[in-house]
Chain A
Amino acid sequence: MLIYATRRILWLMPTLLAMALVTFLVMHATPGSPLDPIAEGANPLSPEAQRNLAARYGLDRPLWEQFAIFLKKAAQGDFGTSFVYRSRTVAEIIGEALPVSLLLGAMAMAVAVAGGLALGVVAAVHQNRTWDYVSVSVATAGVAVPNFVLAVFLIVLFSLLVPLFPTGGWDSPRAWVLPTLTLALGPLGIVARFTRAAVLDVIRSDFTLTARAKGLSETPVIFKHVLKNALIPVVTVLGPMFAAIGTGSFFVESIFRVPGLGRFFVLSMTGRDYPMIMAVVLTYGAFLAVMNLMVDLVYGVLDPRIRY
């Protein structure tokens, strides 16, 4: 277990390095540079000014050297200054925006896990009856319908038709409700589908039959015997769930005007904001990798049958 964990943690470094390298190469291999940006409001510059700027930001050096400099500085936590928001460092921007995204993500996660488990158990217990079909439909809709489409429906329903919540913003907890729900529905569907399958599997097993045979009523059977064992496979979907919430946050944040990290996805890429692109991709990549690692370790703890 300890050896496995150490090996996985050591593997994080090469994975992130490879990710940085691929992003760096794609970024530089394509036409268009930060000096002749396609971003709105950019001015065409004279060749001398361009050379000066290139020297100032180190863009005149050979690529491998630029990459080495980036790595050296990134290792010290210095991601440079944003090309677009010139007065602010990338670390500052991320430090401000990431907590907002994390709060939104954590709330969505909580709703998704709680709702998904409930929906999945209800579906399995009432297999092939009305409640099963209702739960499965909700789960499928959550998985299949893109979250920016869900956002539109939720805004129309709960902000325009029945004005319960504001259409956007992040000032009050009331404004948090719709973005959280929108972001949660997809992962909720994933959890519900897996929970249903896992519960169905356990419900048919011998030890459940034994529990029933010794005269336990339905509630303790489900909660004490079935759910406890059904949870194990459900943990494996938490990894993809983090990914769904992470990338989903961009759309949700832009529709609901949430001041999180999501909006920097596209802003940095279309603006050729090299330091920002690297930082955003690596932040998300590192987050996902660490979460996946934790899920795998938790899985090992939960299920004593697993040996590494």
Chain B
Amino acid sequence: MDAKLLNPFIQAAVEVLKAEVDANVSRGEISMQKSSLTSDDITVLINLIGDVYGVVMYGMHKNTCLNLVSKIMGQDFIELNSLAQSGMAELGNVISGRATIRFSETGYKSNISTPTVLTGNGVEISTLDFPRIVVPLDTQFGILTVHLALRTKTPGETYNPEEFIPLINVPPSQNVF
């Protein structure tokens, strides 16, 4: 994975956390991981599709999530109900959206998917052959860890449907590609 994809996300995360919850963010040590990610209490998963493609995950402890959501929504959350999950998903959405705007400024256009929220720690999330860059962001609310498993295509390169079928052969009559 290209390190130039990293900065837009970190900048976006710092800006959004500053604006939404007035957080003082300090960046932890960046690491590159090839193994699958063992999920934290809450993981917000957002896919990118386009010139920059792959998956971004925001992992955090339950308390961090509750602190952040309580601050954003202006009411105290004591359990991780659907409203709290929705708030956290929205935070991931805003950070990813802002990062993709920065990508598009450099010519890489991509879209983000709707967020998916995974709760429950200890399951493994595999990004297959995409290595992940892991950046912990330390705030006064707790640590938010950003996992990036992204790749780039040449900007404007047309979409190549052949990417779909390396393993499974669909017979010609059903071959809709």
| Chains A and B are bound partners | no
Binding site for A on B (CB under 8 A): none
